[in-house]
């Protein structure tokens, strides 16, 4: 799992099977100091995250299993909206 900040949205008129009615958001991964790290990720969002929110994303097979479609092309999904976190 990764911590990230939602920085934008993606709109598409054509999608592969298994991605119908899927909201896509652009997420910038963050480190524990809330600094940007790595490349942006386009993640499926079914929980209602919005631009500016800190989220938890999962990637790979765990993300794909969140869809009802077998062999869905999803490789990242938002699985939580972070209210706060603390690092000591």
Whole-Å CA distances, 56 to 9, 13, 15, 67: 16, 27, 24, 17
pLDDT at position 22, please?
87
Model pLDDT, residue 51 = 97
Q: CA 53 to CA 15: how far, in whole Å?
A: 25
19-33 residue pLDDT tens: 778 899 999 999 999
Span 36-41, mean pLDDT? Answer: 96
Question: 17-21, 46-50, 70-74 — which is least confidently predicted?
Answer: 17-21
**Domains of the chain (ranges, CATH numbers):** 2-13+21-81 (2.40.50.220)
DSSP, collapsed to helix, strand or coil, labels residue 76 as strand
């Amino acid at each position: 799992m990764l911590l990230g900040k939602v920085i934008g949205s993606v709109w598409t008129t054509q999608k592969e099977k298994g991605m119908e009615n899927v909201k896509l958001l652009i997420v910038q991964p963050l480190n524990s100091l809330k600094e940007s790290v790595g490349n942006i990720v386009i993640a499926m969002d079914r929980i209602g995250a919005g631009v500016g929110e800190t989220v938890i994303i999962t990637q790979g097979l765990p993300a794909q299993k969140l869809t009802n479609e077998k062999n869905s092309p999803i490789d990242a999904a938002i699985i939580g909206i972070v209210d706060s976190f603390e690092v000591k």
